[in-house]
Structure 1
Amino acid sequence: MTRILRIGAAPFPTDDGGWASRALRAGHAVEAVRAFMGYGEGAGLRDAQLPRRLRPLRHPVPDLFATRAGLLVASEAAREVIEAHDPGLHRFWPVDVGAPHHGLIVRATGAAITERGSLCHVEPALPRLGLPRHVTLLAHAARVDAARLPAANLWWDRALSRPYLLVSDCLAFALEALDAIPMRCCDA
């Protein structure tokens, strides 16, 4: 079975210390946020262009959380668990949140979510306006096709109109021992 990380359900409140404003002025904010949210890998971004310090607005700080801008942040324990399951696949860089943590860009992608059996909101195409058909999940209720699962244990699933972060059962079980983003089981 696969699980979906409920990223948008409750972003962890942080203050980025002005990183977003500086990134907008420098011209790399769009590429960074696209990478944070699964629309790209951020291959053109140097570590110096990514957030280095976040001030948590709530305590305790979880082991794996997402910020409002979509940045995933992992404690050393969460990084070790992810690296043990997907060695060298994802991008980590140091982020200080009052304790050592790491920014995380998930580099694996797949297309395992199926519309059939998932709880979806579908907006039909509007060709006269140039708008394509748009499909998103409701309540993170997804069905996955086991035959289309990628080799990775953590990946952005791009089968629908926007990416969703999925995790294999073996990685999910390891993350459950930590304070991480809530997960929901996907039907198979």
Structure 2
Amino acid sequence: MIWYISVIDFFILILVLLNAYFGIRKWRESKININLFLMIFFIALIFTAFRQLLFGLGIFLDVFFGENLSINGIISLIILLVPIQFLLYLKEWKRYYYLPLIFAFYSLYNLYFVPDNTIFRVSSIVLGAIAFTILIFNGIRRRNGVSISIGFIFLYGLAYSETLTLLTGAISRLIGVLVLLLGTSGILDKFVLIDDEKEEKIKNTWIAKMVK
């Protein structure tokens, strides 16, 4: 493994840990269940980032079951399906809440019993691309930085595609977790997705208090 790939992976791990910190803080402030659910997502990211760093150091950390099912595969499923569940929650599509669970069972079955995991890979990429694109556009429309940033995590998953080189994969992972950090830390909401109407109301309230 090229040394600078390991350096990038180290920074990715730091960024993922920061994401987890802001995610925990956000949940403690809001006590919203979906934010607690996202903790599973952050734990999965920490695992993959740590595993990738070890892999760069020549340490392979994984356990396989059946044909293609592995710990890393299960973690990858979590990274894919938790944001989709988050999307369904945001859109209040309650009748579809069970779909990620169905896809999870299908994927686990496919990976365990089927030697060729091409169908799983293709379906995951297509499903992820659609869901994460919706998350980004939904976040822009609703001025929700977390939604946008979680949408960009698709780049993190795409980095493990066999079509990418080591460097482009590392850069893709780095961009994914960096944008995620901008969302979880509140930077996107505060400095990018400025609600002009809300700002105007605050300004008018401040002026009214000054007049009194």
TM-score normalised by length of structure 2: 0.24
The structure whose residues are more often helix, as a share, is: 2
| Greater relative contact order, per chain length (Cα 8 Å cut-off, separation 6+) | 1
Larger radius of gyration: 2
TM-score normalised by length of structure 1: 0.26
The structure whose residues are more often strand, as a share, is: 1
